[in-house]
Structure 1
Amino acid sequence: MNYRAAFWFPIGLLAALAGLSLWLQYAVQAPSTGGPGGSKHIADYIVENFHATRTDITGKTENTLSAHKTQHFLDDDTTELEAPDFTAFDKQGGSVNIRSARGYVSSKGDVIIFTGKVVLVRDLHDAQGPLTLTTDYLKVIPKQHLMLTNRPALIQGKNIVIHAGALQMNSQTRELLLTHHVKTHYEPNH
């Protein structure tokens, strides 16, 4: 009987160690996030001090986008931006600059979402002077020159303060459409 116990003890010990190591492997692995495929939302590349410039066919700058840190995600082909800074230039020589805490670029690069404390400054280089807009969410469609939000926004300009529940702005035509509980305070020049 001693012979059998001496034979089975090491085999039992090895089986227990194999089971323990298998259990440890599953216990330590992070649970899968994502859909049925089990893909994880993990950055496939990270770029610090990112800067990109889009030009028209003649080489004139249409807009620039920079960020302290950029992360691209392979599972949904989106890009996250830390402290993004976007500037769009119009044909009249003016510009619109947008800064926020965070930003997201769609998979096709046709939409940029700014979140956190969003500050937009429209510099018209004319008698109206600069216009500053603050909100916590702004959607930008660069090819259409559109900037929109469905969240409360504060617009401040020369002699004017406007509160709006939503807005749409075209950076080329300089049109600003305000909706939802718009309140304006205007003080004319004397």
Structure 2
Amino acid sequence: MSELVTLDYNQKKQARTAHNIFNLNIILVHLFGVVILFELHLIHWFWVIPFLSISIMLFQYHHWKKLFSNHEAHWYVVSNWGLAVKHNRIVFIAYLVCGSIFLTGYTVTNSLASDPNMGKIGMMVFLYLSGNLMLISLVVTFVLSSGAIWHTNKGEVTRALEKIRVRLSTPTNS
């Protein structure tokens, strides 16, 4: 199963912080941000959602690199930050896939539809397709991150953390 590691409170807190930031990004930016923009009829400001989210992701990535270069940081903390970066990577790939679906739909519906109403209907289909795909990826990564918080509270080393630990301990040839 999973092994237990003896950690003090600060190490558990540092390891848990990465997942807490990720979950707050999902809840505050993606959930409440979208609802607020819809309620205020600010659909043209939707670019703020990925901008804020990617900014938070970049912060987490840079902090993980800083921890990685700091040889005094505990491997468990660095591995948990690496796991959060992995979850961020899944969300970023979902952004790319959903954005390309949306742009493809926008291009196809605006160039092939002679009737503007048919173009709007086609655009809504692609919008719902890309939005639901993004929602599924956000829910899956939120559940993964919540599970990581639970394991971190117990001080458990899961297979995902063990894989990251092995990658961190192997020297690179660059």
TM tier relative to shorter chain: under 0.3
Higher RCO (CA-CA < 8 Å; seq separation 6+):
2
The answer to which structure has the higher helix fraction is 2
* Greater percentage in strand: 1
TM-score, length basis structure 2: 0.20
| Higher alpha-carbon Rg | 1
Give the alignment's TM-score, normalised by structure 1: 0.18
